[in-house]
Structure 1
Amino acid sequence: MTLDIGVLGYRFMGKAHSNAMARLPMFFPDAPEINREVLVGRDEEALAEAAGRLGFSRTTTDPAEAIQEVDVFYNLGPNFVHPEYSIEALEAGVPVFCEKPLAPTLEGTEAMTEAYREAGVPAGCAFNYRFVPAIRYAKELIEGGEIGEIHHVRGRYLQDWLVDPEAPWSWRNDEELAGSGALGDLGAHTIDLARFLVGGRAGEITEVSGQLRTFVEERPTEDGETREVTVDDAYTAQAEFESGAMGSFEASRFATGHKNDHTIEIEGSKGSIKFSLERLNELEHLSEGSRGFETILVTDPEDPYIDHWWPPGHVIGWEHTFVHENYEFLSAVESGDEFEPSFEDGLATQRVLAAIEGSDASGERVSLD
């Protein structure tokens, strides 16, 4: 069976996922056969150019038309288009893969998740950092008891692309369109990764205290005017996990000198792990009785996903995480199995984001119970 794929969005994430789909038959021969059937967007001229470049058979400016004619629907557009078309696809029984955060608001995310529960088909949320081999290896160490009882979880995601006050306004600066700024754009990844690594009920966050900050209140537009920035440029949060572990999280799009610095550290009673996205092939591990961290190059054939790629030491990159992610999702669609991270994971993360916003607004600690 060949799965016909429809994709809404052809810029950043559209390119990342299209590249992954093209790589699947080369490196994952047991992946489902797919046909990049239709690319969806608003600008017909730009859409036609992108379809040819990304390998799609045709285009349409009507998402509803695409949904009716495909086996799988990828919603990779801006946050504000996620709820309507994802719900429409799920109500038609079409599996959905949606970029994070699932929606600009908690209410929209709840509606999407309810549609997923009723549809009975896979619906994935695009937390691609779960599919980094070093992260998978870290998960194995934690589940194997190598670091013992978890005490601390620290995560940060730092970028600097908005430091310049003359950087242009975009939909990512608008609360109605994006929902939040650094919190949802970057913090969602960190919160999900923390939940994934700690695992199970122990990994659920029960309380948060958060602070949001906007450094530049207005930005220039293409027409020479300015528009108000209505989202956060940075956030920090303290958290408590169901297990009793303490968490601290931060993200900023104003962290001068940091391009895509996503790090997570977990300290336990027997050892610790440290990971940085800017050193994607490495995991630092402190084992019980050791005096220092060991840097592990996660590129051996027995490491997660690596047997599909290159000989040991021949590193992989950011784009490979999308190949792994698409392989797992499309395999779940073909088999009818569950896929994780699902919309349930997207909702769990969104609840934490909403609680952090609520804490900033009220100045009080917020319980997620």
Structure 2
Amino acid sequence: MSDKVRIAFVGCGGHASGALYPQFARIAEIDLVAVVDQIEEKRLVAQRTWGARRAYASVEEMLDKEKPEGVCISGPPQMHYEVGLQVLERGIPIFVEKPSAIDFQHAYDLAEAARKAGTFGMTAFMKRFATAYEKAKEITQREEFGPVSMVSVRYTHGAYPSIWGIEDRALVCLIGNQCHAFDLARYFGGDVTELYARLCDRGEGCFAFAVTLQFENGAVGLLNSNATDDPSWNIRETLNVSGLLCSVDVEDMIHVNYRPRERWAPELGPWREGLYALPHAVSFNLGGRWLGYEGELRHFAQCIRGEVENRSSLYDGAASLAIAEAIWESAKTGKPVRPKSHKPGQ
């Protein structure tokens, strides 16, 4: 009997085919037993291209026949919720793309459904598994770094479309894309207890949010979340984390710059010192590994086997949407807002 984890995948769209399916060839722990999509051409192409054993049009039929150990779900957030519940009802773990649902309440309900079914779910915040962010996280947990004092995230790009039935482009971007930035802030700073947001909306999907954060542990934070930065879809992404007399930066997910407290050239006086790391150009064929897509899928399989603790849960997905909704409320009311609690069992 194979010791590989039997995984089925629901959804054969652009993101799944471009970012997720290509990773399976490098993950020895997973056996891709089935793909599911209502569009025949998409599911057959996915089966042929990525080596799935079988293809189905129906989630229920797939679950009945394959009895997978885990199910990945990638599509619109409404699908994440609906299909996620179908799978969780059978006690099967799920891996859902972000956002895990269309709003906080549905995301929280999905997390609670997993808990009540005695299983678990992952939200696909792949940045938690990206090489540069994993290294930055390890640095911030060193004794020499001290307590995190400040977290700043810049996540900017071009105009955002109206999708998923949400007309306001600024709101749907908070839900569908900026949730990456919100999760990074939480990953490095902890839970957010209060925030204050201002919005500059230029129309046609061009807008900018400036957000201040208060973390539960006493640290503070800043978010530059805007869609005015580029004529196309070139994302500019920077994380800055300050400890105690030291800091670490990550730029565009590949460049890590650490400025430790201890200086290696004190004779240079006011010169800025630091340590950096970035991948060489010839290694970019491993982009899925550097960007976290491979790591998050492998982590899902390891969680199913009980080898590791889940570090990107459905509750994390709900927390990012709680921040999105709090930012929207604060920007509209002009007042500080406390994000809704995502704690289990409320």
TM-score by shorter chain over 0.5: yes
* Matching of residues 1-369 of structure 1 within 5 Å: 1-15=3-17, 16-25=19-28, 32=29, 34-68=30-64, 69=66, 70-160=68-158, 162=159, 171=163, 174-175=165-166, 180-198=171-189, 203-212=190-199, 214-217=201-204, 233-256=207-230, 259-277=234-252, 280=254, 282-290=255-263, 291-297=271-277, 314=283, 317-320=286-289, 321-335=292-306, 338-368=309-339
Output the TM-score relative to the length of structure 1: 0.79
**Whole-angstrom distance in 2 between the partners of 1:195 and 1:77:** 24
- Alpha-carbon shift at residue 271 of structure 1 (Å): 0.4
**Whole-angstrom distance in 1 between the partners of 2:25 and 2:305:** 17
- Alpha-carbon shift at residue 121 of structure 1 (Å): 2.0
Seen in structure 2, the aligned counterparts of structure 1 residues 151 and 136 have a Cα distance that, compared at 3 Å, is same
Q: Which one-letter code corresponds to 2:288 in the other structure? A: E
**Whole-angstrom distance in 2 between the partners of 1:336 and 1:288:** 35
Q: Which one-letter code corresponds to 1:112 in the other structure? A: L
- Alpha-carbon shift at residue 130 of structure 1 (Å): 0.9
- Alpha-carbon shift at residue 316 of structure 1 (Å): 6.6
**Whole-angstrom distance in 1 between the partners of 2:235 and 2:76:** 20
Q: Which one-letter code corresponds to 1:48 in the other structure? A: L
Seen in structure 2, the aligned counterparts of structure 1 residues 313 and 51 have a Cα distance that, compared at 3 Å, is closer
Partner residue, 1:302: none
**Whole-angstrom distance in 1 between the partners of 2:234 and 2:216:** 32
* Contact 1:121–1:333 (Cα < 8 Å) also in 2: no
Deviation per CA, 1:75-94: give whole Å up to 9, x if none: 11111211111112111111
Deviation per CA, 1:77-126: give whole Å up to 9, x if none: 11121111111211111110001111111110111011111122231110
Partner residue, 1:222: none
How many residue pairs align between the two structures?
A: 325
* Contact 2:162–2:169 (Cα < 8 Å) also in 1: no
Seen in structure 2, the aligned counterparts of structure 1 residues 322 and 254 have a Cα distance that, compared at 3 Å, is same
For structure 2, the residue ranges without an aligned partner over 5 or more in a row are 264-270, 342-346
- Alpha-carbon shift at residue 149 of structure 1 (Å): 3.1
* Contact 2:194–2:215 (Cα < 8 Å) also in 1: yes
**Whole-angstrom distance in 1 between the partners of 2:331 and 2:63:** 39
Output the TM-score relative to the length of structure 2: 0.84
What RMSD over aligned residues (CA atoms) do the two structures have, in Å?
Answer: 2.8
- Report % sequence identity: 24
Seen in structure 2, the aligned counterparts of structure 1 residues 177 and 77 have a Cα distance that, compared at 3 Å, is farther
- Alpha-carbon shift at residue 297 of structure 1 (Å): 1.6
**Whole-angstrom distance in 1 between the partners of 2:129 and 2:281:** 18
**Whole-angstrom distance in 2 between the partners of 1:335 and 1:329:** 10
**Whole-angstrom distance in 2 between the partners of 1:94 and 1:345:** 19
**Whole-angstrom distance in 2 between the partners of 1:178 and 1:55:** 37
Q: Which one-letter code corresponds to 1:98 in the other structure? A: V
* Contact 1:104–1:177 (Cα < 8 Å) also in 2: no
- Alpha-carbon shift at residue 170 of structure 1 (Å): 6.0
**Whole-angstrom distance in 1 between the partners of 2:32 and 2:223:** 38
**Whole-angstrom distance in 1 between the partners of 2:101 and 2:4:** 30
Seen in structure 2, the aligned counterparts of structure 1 residues 10 and 52 have a Cα distance that, compared at 3 Å, is same
For structure 1, the residue ranges without an aligned partner over 5 or more in a row are 26-31, 164-168, 218-228, 300-310
- Alpha-carbon shift at residue 42 of structure 1 (Å): 2.5
Partner residue, 2:266: none
Q: Secondary structure at the match of 2:214?
A: strand
Q: Which one-letter code corresponds to 1:59 in the other structure? A: A
Seen in structure 2, the aligned counterparts of structure 1 residues 120 and 234 have a Cα distance that, compared at 3 Å, is farther
Seen in structure 2, the aligned counterparts of structure 1 residues 330 and 356 have a Cα distance that, compared at 3 Å, is same
